Structures are given as structure tokens and as C-alpha cells.
A and B are shown apart, each in its own frame.
Chain A
Amino acid sequence: MLRLNPGWLDYTLLALYFVVVLGIGLVARRAVGTSADFLLAGRSLPAWVTGLAFVAANLGATEIIGMAANGAEYGVATVHYYWIGAVPAMVFLGIVMMPFYYRSKVRSVPEFLRLRFGNGTHILNALVFAIASVLIAGVNLYALAIVLNALLGWPEFLGIVVSAAVVLVYIGFGGLGSAIYGEVLQFFVILAGLIPLAIVAVRHVGGFSALADKVTASALGEGGLHAWQGTGIGDVTNPIGANWISIVLGLGFVLSFGYWTTNFAEIQRALSAKDRSASQRTPLIAAFPKILIPAVTIIPGLVALVAIPNFGNDATGGLKYNDAIPALIGQLLPEGVLGIALTGLFASFMAGVAANVSSLNTVVTYDLLQPYLAKGRSDRYYLNAGRVVTAVGVVIAIFTALLAADFNNIMTYLQSLFGIFNAPIFATFILGMFWKRTSGWGGFAGLLTGVLAGALVFVLAEAGVVDFGSGIATSFYQAGAAFIVDVVVTVVVSLATAKPEPERLAGIVYGVPGADGVVPTLRQPKERVWYRKPVLLGGLALALTVVLNIVFA
């Protein structure tokens, strides 16, 4: 039974959080005068704010609850999602790609494709992104409703509508600025709930060595304590069920680079930084919390596995893997911290919804309305359009959430499908940024065939024609196929078609001077203090990751 018994104090702490978030939205409303204020936060935030928002935008509750579930199901190897599957890509984004994004002065990721490859690729990417954002926001809302239903007994519909309304108010008033401020606040509240939970959880099972003994004795076995052991080719015994090559290339390279370096919900945070150096530091600052977050997701997952009888066997009436964090909150936290943890769960669900909605309104307004559907209107028109899109997006997300309640499996499939769209796009960006010869048709054909290749692998695996061993391994191979096909087709078609016109390349491709005469290179901004040097920050993050990988190998 998951039901919590929060006291009046817990509800007060939760209510206080809502008041502060809504207050940010109302005050931020006064900061919005133009569509750029609303959709881009005026491009003037300091790096620590955009950096924490960058990591919080990914700390949606589906992520927290899902990673704790993975921790219980796959053990310590879940760290690959962080140390292999996120940090290298974040460092690469900060040092290599961010200078190009920021210099090009694009307002969104799809807009970069428009500058570089033309309208076809642009519309394809903008549409897919818009649809995906609404659906993912809906999935987040639905996940929140399930948790509220289990923990507090709220009807699912009530949970969906109340949290959607809060998100709508603070983003609808303050736009991206209040979304980002809200995310930074969420970051602290989420950790204020999860850190005490992890500490109490470890103590509950008798400390770290007792936890390790119990995991070894559990269904996971010895492999559940190691990230790399048992991932040898042809001899996979690690619970994660994938060999090290598919982990490094599939998860570490293709999947994570596709997500972290091109997902506009993330890049948008870095684009709203006040200068190029701050935009570069955004993902680098975010990398440090990202390295440490597995401590508060995987550890509760492992504790739930060993401390809750019959955990993970929902066929025989046990709790589901996804219940790890909610169940421990209910079992271990007394009134007070319980309220903080509950608030953290709310905060993380709303972070997921807010990040998707605040990137959706930018893409719809600047990538679909302004260039195609409603050209040449006044800025006031686009500001209002941004507000209307925000409201419509939230309403569609509510319906998506209600739909997900009835067709749970469909949503799982849809999410896998968007994974397919994400993987090849990194190839298109890298070729577009660093290879002058990449033509508009090359970019378009590569992206399209890459998506189709990923979809094909997905369908073949679902139909049982090919078998990669586990769902995770399948997604790695699927991403790998999409990436390779994208690269090959982009190169072949580019060489077969006309060279791109020079003005398509000016200022946004490596080594091609822009109209202002500045040549885009990888030269890093000169900063006087060490903690502002992007290469140093990135190097530190990577070094820390290497050390942790060795410790937990």
C-alpha cells in the first residue's frame, strides 16, 4: 500500500511552494514586454541560473521515478545513463556545439536547420518537436496523476488539472523567464526531498556494506553492484543486458548526444544565457549535479529492492519498480521531511511539463507561425500568439494525459518513436556545422532515412524478427542504425547534389566567415577566473566521471 498520511504541516510546506512559484509567474509578468522576453527570456541570464535550469529541465519526475526503477531493476549499471549517457554529451555541447548555436543567433534548434539546410528539414524537425513536446508533457502530467492518486488518493483527473493549471499560470504570465526561475527553485526542492530520503534509506538497511550484501543476495546478484563487470562481448551477465560496445556507442554516443545536443527543451536554457561564455558554461555547470544525481535515484531503488518484500514482482501482487521512491517516502519519512519530499515530487513533475511547454511555444511561434503561417505581423501579435500557444499546449497536454490513462501502452510506443527521431538528428547537426559540403538535400535525405532506419530496427525488434537481448540493448542498436544511415546518406546525397550557396554557410559553419567577418572556430572565450573557463570545467567533469566509473566498475 502506497498511501501516505501527510499532516497539516506537510500540506503547508507544499502550499508554500505553490505560492512562491505562482508569485514568480505573477512578478515575471511585468518583465515581459516583447515576444523575445516571453519566448527567449531576453537572452540575459547568468550561467548558474541557466545551468541549474538545464539540469532541472531533465529532472522531470518520469526521470527520477524511472531512474530509481532502473536502479532496482538493473542495479548500479544504471549509472551509465548519467556518466556515459549524459556527461560526455553535455561537455561536448558546451565546448564544441554551443559556440555555433549561440553565434548563429537562432532562437530555436529547428531554426538552425532552417538557416543551414532550408525549409524542408526545418518544417520536418519543428513539427516533430512540437508534437513530441505536447505528448511528453502529457505523459508527465499523467505520471503525476498516478502518483497523486496512489499517495494522496486524489482522483487522477483532479491531479492532472490542478498541476496543469499551476504550470499554465506561471508560464502563461512570465514565459521562459519564469519557467527557468521555477526550474532553478525546483532543483533545490527536489534535492531537499531526495537527499534525506537516500540517507534514511541507506541507514534503514544498515549502511552501505549491508546494502551491498543484500543486493548480492537479491535477484540482481553480484552483477547488480557493478557498472562494467559482466558487459563483455558474447558474455553479458550484467543485469543491464548489454555489452560494453553497445553501451558506449549506442547509449553513450548516439542516444545521449542526440538528446543532449539537439533537444530544444534543453538547448533553449543555454540560448537564454547572457553571453557566449555563459551559454557554453550552461551545460558544463549542469554536468556536475548530473554526475551526482544517481546517488539519490539509484540508491533508493536498490534499497526498495532489498527492503520491501516481493518488490518488483507486480505479477504476484508486489509493488512495481516505479513505486520505489513513493513507497520509501511513505515508509521512512516522518511529517516535515515528508512534506518536502512530496513537494519535490510535485516540483519535478511540473519541471517536466514546464520545460516542454515553454519550448513548444517558442517553436510553434518562431518556427511555424512566423516563417510560414502568419508572416510579417507585429511583435505584439507573436507575443500574444506565444501566450495562446502556451494555453493550447497545456490543454492538449491534459487531453494527452487523459488519453494516456486509457491507452498506457500507446504512450510507451510513442516515446520510443520520439527516441527514433532524436538519434539521427545529431549526425545531421555535426555534418552541418563542420562539413561545408553538406547540402540542403543531403541534410534532408539523411535525416529522413535515418529516422526510417531507426523505425525499421524498432519494428523488426517488436515483431521478433531480430533479438538484441533486452529492451535497452534494442534501443541502442536502433539509435546506432539511425545514426549510421543518416551519416552515409547525408554524405552521399551531398556529394551528388550541388554545393550549398555560400550565404547558407556564412557564420554558422566551421571556418566560414560570417557577414561580420568573424570566423566560427572552436577557440574558447578568454576568462580570467578558472571557474569560468569552459575547457577547464568540462575537463573536470570528465575527470570526475572517469574516476567514478573506475570506482564503480
Chain B
Amino acid sequence: MSESVQPGRPQTEVETGSRMQRLFDLRYVIGALMGVYGIVLVIRGLLDGPEQLARAAGISINLWTGIGLLVVAAIFLVWGVTRPLGIDVEENID
């Protein structure tokens, strides 16, 4: 891993996250997994019949959980897109 020095730029130490973070942004992983779970549950929920409803005390629990998961997924994906890694670096004040 060579940390290349860019000439002409101030050589201050700006931490842009660990190698781990630079490899992949966890927000996308959370967003993707929750999103897939959400889509699957919404489809399953739309197909649910009286048997599934009766089991879950009358709540269409697959549908509602699916919608909840899609909301969580959307929050993380939007956050990841609007605040990409590397911008959030100016809080190093101690």
C-alpha cells in the first residue's frame, strides 16, 4: 500500500478513514441488505393470506416489516450518496 504524496497540495494529515472504510462504505452494505430484505418481505406480505394474518394476531406483519426495512435502507443509501466518504474530515479538533 503506497500512500502517494500529492505535490502542490498542502501536506497536512487529513484522515479520510481507514483502509477498511476506503474499501467499502458500510452504509451501502446496510442499505443493500435491508433493502433486499425489505423487498422480499413486501412481496411476501402482499401474497399473505388469512392464514398468515391469523398467525400474527391480524397484523400484516410481513408487509409492515418490509416497509420499515425499505425506509431504513433508503435512509442509509441517501446518507451514503449525499455525504460520500472523505468529506466528513474536519472534526479533528482536540
With A332-B55, A340-B65: A16-B33 Cβ-Cβ less than 8 Å: yes
How distant is the Cα of A378 from the Cα of B55 in the complex, in angstroms? Answer: 60
A274 and B88 alpha carbons, distance in the complex (Å): 12
* A430 adjacent to chain B (CB < 8 Å): no
User: What is the CB-to-nearest-CB distance from A330 to chain B, in angstroms, rounded to a whole number?
Assistant: 10
**Would A37 and B19 be within 8 Å (CB), given that A16-B33, A24-B29, A184-B26 are in contact?**
yes
B18 engages A41 (CB within 8 Å) = yes
Contacts of A9 in B (CB 8 A): 40, 44
Task: List CB contacts (< 8 Å) of B27-73 with chain A.
Answer: 29-30, 33-34, 36-37, 40-41, 44-45, 48, 51-52, 55-59, 61-62, 64-66, 68-69, 72
Number of cross-chain contacts by CB at 8 Å: 139
Residues of A within 8 A of B69 (CB): 192
What is the distance, in angstroms, from A113's C-beta to the closest C-beta of chain B?
24
Interface majority SS (helix, strand, loop, mixed), chain B = helix
Residue in contact with B64 in the complex, picked from A33, A43, A184, A196, CB distance below 8 Å? A196
Q: Name which residue of chain B comes closest to A176, CB basis.
A: B20
Complex Cα distance, B3 from A35, in Å, reads: 18
| Contact A333 B57, CB 8 Å, known A33-B1, A188-B72 | no
Confirm or deny: B17 has a beta carbon within 8 angstroms of a beta carbon on chain A.
yes
Q: Is A30 an interface residue (CB 8 A)?
A: yes
Give chain A nearest CB distance to B84 CB in angstroms.
Answer: 13
Residues of A within 8 A of B21 (CB): 44-46
A20 to B34, CA, bound (A): 11
**B82 in contact (CB, < 8 A):** no
A33-B1, A525-B94 known; A181 and B26 CB under 8 Å?
A: yes
CB 8 Å contact bits of A7-41 with B (1 = contact, 0 = none): 00100110011001000100110110100010001
Question: Are A199 and B92 closer than 8 Å at their CB atoms?
Answer: no
1/0 per residue, CB under 8 A from B, across A411-432: the answer is: 0000000000000000000000
Q: Pick the contact of A336 from B40, B68, B91 — CB < 8 Å?
A: B40
- Shortest distance from the beta carbon of B90 to any chain A beta carbon, whole Å: 9
Indicate if the CB atoms of A33 and B37 lie closer than 8 Å: no
User: By the criterion CB–CB under 8 Å, are B33 and A31 in contact?
Assistant: no
Which residue of B is nearest A45, CB measured? B18
In the complex the two chains form, what is the Cα distance from A337 to B61 in whole Å?
7
Complex interface: chain B residues within 8 A of A527 (CB): 91, 93
> How far, in Å, is A536 (CB) from chain B's closest CB?
15
> 13 A-B residue contacts at CB 8 Å?
A20-B29, A24-B29, A31-B20, A37-B19, A45-B17, A46-B17, A189-B33, A274-B15, A274-B17, A334-B48, A334-B51, A334-B52, A336-B48
